[in-house]
Structure 1
């Protein structure tokens, strides 16, 4: 494993304690370097969602090592892990998860809440992030007043506002029509070209094939790693 990776998985397993036990990840190993754009691709049930949760430190692995920006996540307390997650990982989900009562600017600024950034700085950086995703003019709108594609842009702005080491995107075009989805993929490429490290979870092999690297999953294992 390389010391300059922002994300490293080494022999990671995840077994859910059911009867009989369900192995969701079976010895997954790969690393992601700064500035990469990677697709994790596989059919439903291949382990992609579990892998997302483990990479994002939302779940601890049953065995193996997960390092985020060089830090071994297993060595951290829950509080330390929450702080690491707030500072180093940005999340984008297909459901957007925006607070409907808050403005677009407030939703993006909330991405810095748990990183301990003062309010004035949160809003300044939120405005910068909205500029990056082309939504500066929508800053004062509530999410109910903007389109699905614009909501996903807000969610992406919230993910990148803290300048995390890595952005994890879970089916970011899943709830969008093809034209809007294509514009979101173009935005993801632009953010990557500007230096963001992005790992995208998808079941769409065609979409994955258009990204520089594809890690293919099946039955909880990496079956190929190309690019």
Structure 2
């Protein structure tokens, strides 16, 4: 790992409502370096989903700083934030969110729609991403003609297609059987070994323990981080 920081959170809070206020994040601070593979793990209600939304710039924090690739998200306009999200963050969700009427190749290419990439280049990059996840032979298939594991690989390819600074994977094996889930975890490790920075959000401590760094959340706070003091 180069030691370059791609994500930095400093004293991030998120409070919902006013009467009474409900704190979801309480002073969360950590950074992630390029090429890291990190699990954010905690039980239901620990703040994982809120943290995912804040890291992914889908929600603004109530206070604190979120920096992605050196850009302070709080200082960006909504338009600038959308562009940052399109270029720097790839999302993989538990639900695949694939367009059933479109081919696998079109679904992956659509990951670049909002990044201002021309159509021919979108499809070229989609083919590259499908090759990375081992699905070149399924490019012309519709999602309903492939398995659940293959659909999650398509979703991962879509997240990777723009070579984002960070891939955020939210319970990526949650809808899969254990064998298929294991193959997706193996793919995540392979992609990380090839240089992708991946942050996986999960409630499953067993899955988290397979990753080299684990940030544990409880009641909106970081209670442990195996990466503290270990990164160059």
Note whether the superposition's TM-score is higher than 0.5.
yes
1:11 aligns with 2:20: no
Count of matched residue positions in the alignment of Structure 1 and Structure 2: 225
Report the Cα offset of residue 187 of structure 1. Answer: 0.3
Per-residue Cα deviation, 1:17-47 (whole angstroms, up to 9, x for no partner): 1431110000000000000000000000000
Report the Cα offset of residue 216 of structure 1. Answer: 0.1
Q: Which residue of 1 aligns with 2:72?
A: 72
Q: Which residue of 2 aligns with 1:133?
A: 133
Per-residue Cα deviation, 1:137-179 (whole angstroms, up to 9, x for no partner): 1000110111100000000000000000000000000000000
- Counting only pairs closer than 5 Å after superposition, residues 1-227 of structure 1 correspond to structure 2 as 4-227=4-227
CA distance in structure 2 between the aligned counterparts of 1:122 and 1:181, rounded to whole angstroms? 28
Per-residue Cα deviation, 1:158-210 (whole angstroms, up to 9, x for no partner): 00000000000000000000000000000000000000000000000011111
- Name the TM-score, length of structure 1 as normaliser: 0.98
Specify the SS of the correspondent of 1:43.
coil
The runs of at least 4 aligned residues of structure 1 exceeding 4 Å deviation read none
Specify the SS of the correspondent of 2:5.
coil
CA distance in structure 2 between the aligned counterparts of 1:18 and 1:181, rounded to whole angstroms? 40
Report the Cα offset of residue 4 of structure 1. Answer: 2.7
Per-residue Cα deviation, 1:47-68 (whole angstroms, up to 9, x for no partner): 0000000000000000000000
Specify the SS of the correspondent of 1:74.
helix
CA distance in structure 2 between the aligned counterparts of 1:107 and 1:150, rounded to whole angstroms? 13
CA distance in structure 2 between the aligned counterparts of 1:126 and 1:48, rounded to whole angstroms? 30
Per-residue Cα deviation, 1:70-104 (whole angstroms, up to 9, x for no partner): 00000100000000000000000010100111100
Structure 2: segments with no counterpart, 5+ residues: 228-232
CA distance in structure 1 between the aligned counterparts of 2:48 and 2:27, rounded to whole angstroms? 14
CA distance in structure 2 between the aligned counterparts of 1:95 and 1:214, rounded to whole angstroms? 23
Specify the SS of the correspondent of 1:6.
strand
CA distance in structure 2 between the aligned counterparts of 1:191 and 1:32, rounded to whole angstroms? 17
CA distance in structure 2 between the aligned counterparts of 1:151 and 1:22, rounded to whole angstroms? 36
CA distance in structure 1 between the aligned counterparts of 2:109 and 2:19, rounded to whole angstroms? 43
Structure 1: segments with no counterpart, 5+ residues: none
CA distance in structure 1 between the aligned counterparts of 2:10 and 2:39, rounded to whole angstroms? 18
